[in-house]
Amino acid sequence: MLKNKVVVVTGAGGGIGRDFALAMAVHGAKVVVNDIGASVAGEGKDAGPAQKVVEEIKAQGGAAVANTDSVAEWESANRIVKTAIDAFGRIDVVVNNAGILRDRFFFNMSVEEWKAVIDVHLNGTFYVSRAAAPYFKSQNSGRYINMTSTSGLIGNFGQANYAAAKLGIAALSKSMAMDMARYQVTSNCIAPFAWSRMIGTIPAETPEQQARVEKLKRMQTAKIAPLAVYLASDTSQEVSGQIFAVRANELFLMSQNRPLRSVHRAEGWTAQTIAEQAIPAMRAQFYALDRSQDVFSWDPI
């Protein structure tokens, strides 16, 4: 499905990104495997993980090159895209998968923890996507695949930075889809459920937490890759601006914000009439403080 396509996958040294890179190569793509080789918290640097994935692809007869630039800075993000141009002469697909975690309850979160996560996830998605945009425009084609999360789409404890970044990515992806549509470029999001190095940081101290972790371990990262391959292919041309979720063998099309309920008064509203009439009328449609696991409460299929 991806013969002669050139794909950049960020954060591809392990987990979901590695599976994306391998699957793209199996389907004929030439792959730029980007990974700085940092810890889950974004600390350190190691060229080994990206190079190892490149060697796996080459061992299967595919074409790939490694890149260890950070997505979190504009200049280095441009070097990621330039690696594709220098190695393969073009770029057709950007998979914005790189990410870190700095989990902390909001009331204890430091400014540095906030900025670090926003820089990698949200700014990184913009930087790499923006760097590829001139090439997509000039060739009148291109695919953006952006990783979001139900932590942002629904909610989770202790992840204000991550949730804000991931919901921001959903909005950014929609804007990219709208602005780039005239150039035949698509942009979509994937919210993955899978056991990975990042998910492995979830606490597992109580019986409830342990049960949740065991459930997550049954959801393989490789299950996410087929959707990414499809969205990278020419067959997905009419699919843009959407948010999908993958949970083992389940595929979901996620909702997007739309008006849910309205009330009106010909004479307008006061604070008192809002309290007495508007809020009681709308209360039945209020959203609870749900977490992702509350909404996806059944075992994965």
Domain-embedded: residue 290 = no
Alpha-carbon dihedral sign for residues 243, 247, 248, 252:
negative
Query: pLDDT at position 256, please?
Result: 98
pTM across the whole model: 0.93
Domain-embedded: residue 107 = yes
Q: Which CATH number fits the domain that encloses residue 16?
A: 3.40.50.720
What is the per-residue DSSP string for 10-58? TT-SSHHHHHHHHHHHHTT-EEEEE-----TTS----SHHHHHHHHHHH
Distance CA 227, CA 243 (A): 12
Distance CA 25, CA 57 (A): 7
Distance CA 278, CA 155 (A): 26
Domain-embedded: residue 287 = no
- Taking the chain (301 residues) in runs of 10, the rounded mean pLDDT of each run is 97 97 98 90 81 98 98 98 98 98 97 98 98 98 98 97 98 98 98 73 68 71 96 98 96 97 97 98 97 92 86
Nearest to 7 by CA among 110, 80, 61: 80
Query: pLDDT at position 248, please?
Result: 92
Query: pLDDT at position 44, please?
Result: 73
* Segment 159-196, tens digit of pLDDT: 999 999 999 999 999 999 999 999 999 999 999 998 76
Domain-embedded: residue 99 = yes
Query: pLDDT at position 193, please?
Result: 92
Domain-embedded: residue 297 = no
Query: For the chain, how many structural domains are there in total?
Result: 1
Beta strand 142-147 pairing with 93-96:
parallel
Domain-embedded: residue 288 = no
* Segment 33-45, tens digit of pLDDT: 999 997 776 677 7
What is the token pair recorded at 185?
């470029």
Domain-embedded: residue 124 = yes
Query: pLDDT at position 195, please?
Result: 72
Looking at residue 104, the DSSP 8-state letter turns out to be B
Query: Range of 90's domain?
Result: 6-256
What is the distance of C-alpha 154 from the center of its chain?
Answer: 14
Domain-embedded: residue 286 = no
Alpha-carbon dihedral sign for residues 38, 292, 143, 124:
negative
Annotated catalytic residue: which of 135, 144, 162, 287? 162
- Confirm whether 135 is a catalytic residue: no
